[in-house]
Structure 1
C-alpha cells in the first residue's frame, strides 16, 4: 500500500504583529508628510466651527431676528448644534469608506465637504434679504459641515495614529489634536483682527463674513496634500489579511459605547471652555468682545503648545493617568474658578483661569487620540471610532453652548454651566477607570 503524502495545513496569515512591523519601512519624511496632510485638513475642518461660535451673537441678528435677544442667541446656537447632529451619520458613512476604500479617500471627501459649508456661510444672504430661506440655507450649510466633520476626526485620527512609529503614538496624536486647537486659535485671531479693524456697525453689517471666506484659502493646499499621501501601513496590512481579527477587543457596540463615554468630558470641556467662553465673558463678566477673543487666543496658545507634550508624556507614563487627571480637574475646579470670574476679577486673572482649564484639556487632548484609537481593531477603527465619538460630540458638545445658555436662563445664575462640566467629568472618569492601559501595546 502506497503511503499517502502528509498534508500540511495552510497557516492563516495574521495581521498582527506583522503588519505593524511594516511601520519601519515608512521613512521619517513620509511620516511627517502624512502628519502634515492630516493636520492641515483638521485646521480647515474645525476653523469654521470655531468662527461660527465666536460670531454667534452677530449671526443671531442676521439670520434669526427676534424681539428677544436670548431667543435669537438660542436659535443661533441651535443652528450651531444642528451641524453636530449630522456628525454621527457622516462618521458612519465616511468612516465606512475609510475602512473599505482607504483613509486617503475619506480625508479627501471631508475636506471638500467642509470647504463647501465654510464658504457657503460666508456668501449666504441674510434674513433681511431673502426672508425665511436665509436660516434654512444656514442650517443646510451646517449640515454639510457636520457630515464632513463627522468623518474627519475619526479618519484623520486613525490616519495619524496608524502612521506613527511604535512608542510615539501619543506624540503624533497630540500633534494632530494640536492642529485642531490651532484651528480654534486661528479662528479666534481672525475674528479678533477683523473686529479690531472695523467698527461694530461694519462688523454687524458685512465684516462678519470675512472670517468664513478666508477659510476657503486653506482648501487648495489641504486638498493637494491629501491627494498625494500614502495609505497607512496598518490599513494596507489589514486589507491584505484574509480575515479581520482583534475580536478579543470587544463587540462593536461595546467599543462604541466606551468611545461615547470617553468623549463626554473631552467635548463638553472643549466647547464650553473654548467656544462658548468668549460669549460667556462678554455677557456675564463685563469683558468686551475684543478682550474675550484675545484672552481666548492667549489660552489657546498654551493649549496648542502643551498638547503634543502631554501626548509624548502619555507614551512614557501611560494614557490613563492624564485622562483621569483631566476628569477630576473638571469635577473640582469649575465651580470655584467660575465664581472668581463672576466676582469682577481683572482681565489678567480671567486669562490665567482660562490657561489653567486649557492645560487640563491639553492633558486629555494629548493622550486622548491614541487612547481612543487603541481601543479599536484596524479593520473597523475609522467607522466605530467615528460613530462613538461623533454621537457623543453631537449630544454633549454641539449643544454645549445652547445648554449653557439655557441653564443660565432657567436658573437665573451664570454659575450654572459648571454643573454641566462637573457631571461630564464624573461620567467620563467612571468610563475611563475601566479601560486597560494600551500605551505600550501594538495596534491590533
Structure 2
C-alpha cells in the first residue's frame, strides 16, 4: 500500500469509519475548556503580576494594572485575525489540524506568560514578552470558536446538532470557573507577597500542562471534513487536488457576503448580552448599586454554574422545536426586559442573584445553539473561516467592549443608558432572527 493510500485510510471521513461521538465531544469540549482557562486566568491574576511587568507611573499606582488590561484588550482584538487564519486552516487542512494548532498556541502563550521576566530584571523586555504572549493567545482563542464550532456540529448525530452545539458554552463556562477557582485557591494558600512574586506563575504553568492534555485528546479525534483529505484520488495529482479542494483565505467573505453579514447580525445581541450578564454584571452592581465586591463574585460564580447546567437543556429543546423559537425568545426577552432587569439590581445578594439567573435563562436561547446556528449558515467548504472572522469581529466590537461602554456611560453621568444599549442590540438581532429559515430539520450542507 502506498503512502498516499495509508494517509487516505487515516483521514477517511466519518461515513467510512464512524467516530465515537463521546470522543469527538470530549475533543472539542475539554480542549475548549482549557483554552478558556488560559484566557481568563490572565484577567483573574492581572492584579498580582501587573507591578512585576509594568513600571509605576509618577504618583499613579494604577498605571501597571491599566497597562496590563490594555494588553488584555490587544489580545481581544487579535481574535478576528485568529478567526480568519485558523478558520482558513480548518477549511483547508481539516478541523482536527486547526484544533491541534489552536491548543498548541494557547499552551505556548500561557507558558510565555508564566516565564515572563520582571521589569526590574529586564526592563522593556518584560512587557514585550507579555504582549507577544497575549497576541498568541488572542490568535488562538479567535480560531478556537471557528474550529470547535464546526467540529462539534459536524460530529453530531442525526437530530443532535443543538445538543452538541450547547457544549461550546458548557466548556467555555467550565474554563472560566476553573480559572477563577484556581486563582482563588492560590490566593487562599499563599500570602499576598508570594502571589505577587511567583504564585501567579503557577496558574499559567497549570494552563500550559492542561494544554498538553487537550492536545492528546484532540489528536485522537477523527476529521469531520471530507475535503481535508491529503491523499490523492486515482488519476489526480496532489497539486491538482489541492487547488480544487482548498478554498482561498477570503473565499467565504468574497463568495458569501450575505452570510457573513448574517453572522454579525446573529452575534451582535448575543455577545452583548453574554458579556454583560456573565462578566460585567458583578461590576455593574458594584458601580451602580454599591454592591459588595466579594459577594458580587460569589453571585457571579453561582450563576455561571447555573448557566452551564442550562446549556444542554437549551440544545435539546432546539432539536425538538427548532432554533428560531429559542433565538426569538432570547432576543425579544432581552429587548423588553434588559432595562427593567438591570434596574432591579440593588445592593442585596438575592436581588443580584435573581437578576443574573433570570438573564441567563433568556441568554440560553442564544448560547446553547449559537454554534449550530452559525454552522448551518455556511457550506462545509468555507464553514470555519466563514464563521470565524465575522463572529470574532462582532464579539470584539460589541462583547469585549461591554464593560468599557457600561463604565463610560456611568462616568458620563448616563448610567441608565447602558441597559437601553443592550436592549437595542438585542432588538437588532431579533429582526435578523425573523429572516432566518428554520434549519434544525435540514441536513447540514456539505
Structure 1 residue 110, shift from structure 2 partner: 0.3
| TM alignment of 1:258-277, pairs within 5 A | 258-277=262-281
User: Is the 1:77–1:401 contact (alpha carbons within 8 Å) kept by the matching residues of 2?
Assistant: no
Aligned to 2:439: 438
Q: Does 1:34 align with 2:24?
A: yes
Task: Report what 1:427 is aligned to.
Answer: 428
The aligned counterpart of 1:44 is: 34
Native 8 Å contact 2:78 2:138 kept in 1: yes
Give the direction of change, closer, same or farther, for the CA distance of 1:232–1:352 in structure 2 (3 Å limit).
same
Shift of 1:311: 0.7
Deviations 1:121-144 (CA, angstroms, capped at 9, x unpaired): 233234455444433332221111
Aligned: 1:154 with 2:146: yes
How far has the Cα of 1:430 moved from its partner? 2.1
Relative to structure 1, is the Cα distance of residues 59 and 322 closer, same or farther in structure 2, using a 3 angstrom cutoff? farther
Aligned position for 1:11: none
> Structure 2: how far apart are the matches of 1:235 and 1:53?
39
Q: Where in structure 2 are the equivalents of 1:108-127 lying within 5 Å? A: 108-127=100-119
8 Å CA contact 1:274–1:296 kept in 2: the answer is yes
Change (3 A) 1:332 1:198: farther
Deviation at 1:374, TM superposition (A): 0.3
Is the counterpart of residue 82 in structure 1 residue 74 in structure 2?
Answer: yes
1:329 paired to 2:333 = yes
1:442 and 1:412 map into 2 onto residues whose CA distance is: 51
3-state secondary structure, aligned to 1:333: helix
Equivalent in the alignment of 1:188:
180
Q: Which string of whole-angstrom CA distances, capped at 9 and with x for unpartnered residues, describes residues 241-288 of structure 1? A: 98799x9xx942111111112111222222232233344445554445
Stretch moving more, 330-339 or 99-108: 330-339
Distance 2:378 2:273 in 1: 24
Q: Aligned to 1:231, what secondary structure does the other structure show?
A: coil
Q: Distance in 2 between matches of 1:59 and 1:288?
A: 24
| 350-359 or 170-179: bigger deviation | 350-359
8 Å Cα contact 1:189/1:297 also seen in 2: no
Contact 1:124 1:138 in 2 (8 A): yes
CA distance in 1, matches of 2:138, 2:219: 22
Q: Deviations over 1:363-418 (max 9, x none)?
A: 21112111110000011101111111111122222333333333333x23555543
Closer/same/farther in 2, CA of residues 145 and 286 from structure 1, 3 Å limit: same
* Aligned residue pairs, count: 417
Give the deviation of 1:234 after TM superposition.
Answer: 5.5
Verify the 8 A CA contact 2:409 2:417 in the aligned structure 1.
yes
Q: Using a 3 Å threshold, how does the CA distance of structure 1 residues 113 and 347 change in structure 2: closer, same or farther?
A: same
Q: Hey, what's the Cα distance between the residues in 2 that align with 1:116 and 1:299?
A: 31
The answer on whether the counterparts of 1:154 and 1:383 sit within 8 Å (CA) in structure 2 is yes
CA RMSD of aligned residues (A): 3.1
Task: Look up the SS of the partner of 2:439 in the other structure.
Answer: coil
Q: Is the 8 A contact 1:238 1:379 kept in 2?
A: no
Query: What is the CA–CA distance in structure 1 between the aligned matches of 2:172 and 2:51, rounded to whole Å?
Result: 28
Return 367-376 or 234-243, whichever deviates more: 234-243
- Change in CA separation of 1:36 and 1:57 when aligned onto 2, cut-off 3 Å: same
**Aligned partners of 1:204 and 1:110: how far apart in 2?**
29
Q: What aligned pairs does 1:295-444 form with structure 2 within 5 A after superposition? A: 295-341=299-345, 343-344=346-347, 346-409=348-411, 411-412=412-413, 414-444=415-445
How far the C-alpha of 1:30 sits from its partner, in A, is 0.9
Distance change in 2, residues 1:76/1:397 (3 Å): farther
Q: Distance in 2 between matches of 1:131 and 1:285?
A: 41
Quick one: distance in 2 between partners of 1:243 and 1:235?
6
SS in 2 for 1:351: helix
Tell me the TM-score normalized by structure 2: 0.83
Structure 1 equivalent of residue 202 of structure 2: 210
* 1:291 corresponding residue in structure 2: 295
Of 37, 41, 44, the match for 1:54: 44
Distance, in Å, in 2 between the alignment partners of 1:235 and 1:142 is 32
Distance 1:141 1:236 in 2: 30
More divergent stretch after superposition (29-38 vs 157-166): 29-38
